[in-house]
Structure 1
């Protein structure tokens, strides 16, 4: 199957500058292509995955993907999708984020070539920039692009106004040095991508075969934006979003969304996804499609061992056998539950429930204990006189408290 047909089936194409031209090009030869990423933070989130997974699909089809880390553009700020100016980062912040994102991307996308646009942008003097590149951009054309026009009422600085020129320079440089012929980006990047095409055609001639392709904004079946949780973004950094939390995010997707997500975020083929779609219809309670989605994406981002840990934590929490977890696994499993610090001394069970903010009064704590509603580290305790020694489990760092069937609390030992 032609890679363009593959992307179309997966719902990964929003706009193309020349569909037939690109289709013919990728049929004729292996091409080089790229997607950029600005270092606005020190970790990617799942919103970054789709463009780069799309590049990987090209790579699996024999093409050559590049990632451009925006050491230069990230210091300026992309106005796309923003209602106001971005806070300017210091160069120390930018460089820290460049290093962190580069290491993260190299770990996940092992077969990509990675470059930093600071390397070719920094040597250009202001006069050379204005004479060699600024002269090729028409201000009226730039004002007509949605990324700029949407900001005119609120105001846009000259700094962010020039972002489009810098991103276009990336495409021109990669075309000249590495024969990169396709830029891939999110749907909000269309104006920046087409500006790059225009620059190449002005600088290199109208016969230059270069193309742009954007990926649609991913929405859930109810029309809301995909990728956010109550706690914020779902990060690819295991310190920000643990592999267990990451796994659970995918496992908890709605039946209405799961097949669409399998198409976009996994490398399963059409037959495999069709089989899972049938299981969603015939046995939705088994959640096989969701489990497969969680397994595939967690393994891709975090690796086989992290997936095994996430699955183990899931199984242990379902069974209630908390003692089967390691100390590190407890930290993953309960990172989002209510937690309180308590002293390392032995403590009465009633006092523990008060100290950990499980119950508001000793009377309620006694009732919960006597009614069998309290489990400490997986063990049901029914005696109000029970004493708990924090040193007895999880390296003396945690006490896991469960009230009822699902409400967990974590006592952090000082």
Structure 2
């Protein structure tokens, strides 16, 4: 009896029920086959698992060694930079400290002499004391000689008092002048000492940076597990940041290539030529962008931001600064060239803006239609 007799018009149900019956009846044989296949593939799969585990452990060990080597290299470069900075400070400022000390000693000695001069007080003449004592011992008489002598002496004393007062005022003015000069000298000394203090603070800062870099280098040499985890996290974050930067830079490079390729095509660069199926103007634009990228990498290497070219990082300080200045000049020239090409894009074909304005005068700029194929030959204006 056919199963369609029980369920007529249901072919899907017939197939399901028939398959279920076949699987149910063949269950023991299927189980035996699965067990035999498992026994047959157990040892090869174990070998493959051991091989993959050993490979993963080796990759992990190499990755750990690579991260530690990179971190040690960074720490060594930081120590080298701090030592170079300290050496520059010593050569520029600290080596002039003996001359500065000699100048300070001279100024201090001069100030001390001026201060001693300002404290000198003129001693009164001892003759005046004797004269006053002699006049005071005169006895008055009827002839009035003593009174006349005392009156004349009084006039003489008043004149001498006025002269002494003038001299005292001159001495006080001279003292004030000397003290003002001493104040100026102290200000000069204070400025020089402040300069010395700033230089010593820079030396201390460089020494502290060297100490931190050396401690980090020692920790890397001791293979501390927390430091390994920090290195892995740092490497992962740097990888994500580098990937994001490369993605943004790639998009910007493609857009820049298109923007400067169209005016190059309009200017007739490589008209009618193609390189690997691409217009020659577009290839020239890509070349300009590639040159910008290379010069930018050289600039960052010269500034010790990246270390893609070891030759640039190993250059002396003056040569590296010269390379950085040259890279900046080249980048400025390339940027000026691209600005000119952008201007050409808008004004090289005078009929295009007028034509667009005449065709769609009421639409804003962002709603106007662009040329879908800018690489086609444009008519001569």
**TM-score bracket for this pair, using the shorter chain length:** under 0.3
Structure with the higher helix share, 1 or 2? 2
Which is strand-richer, 1 or 2?
1
TM superposition score normalised by structure 1: 0.18
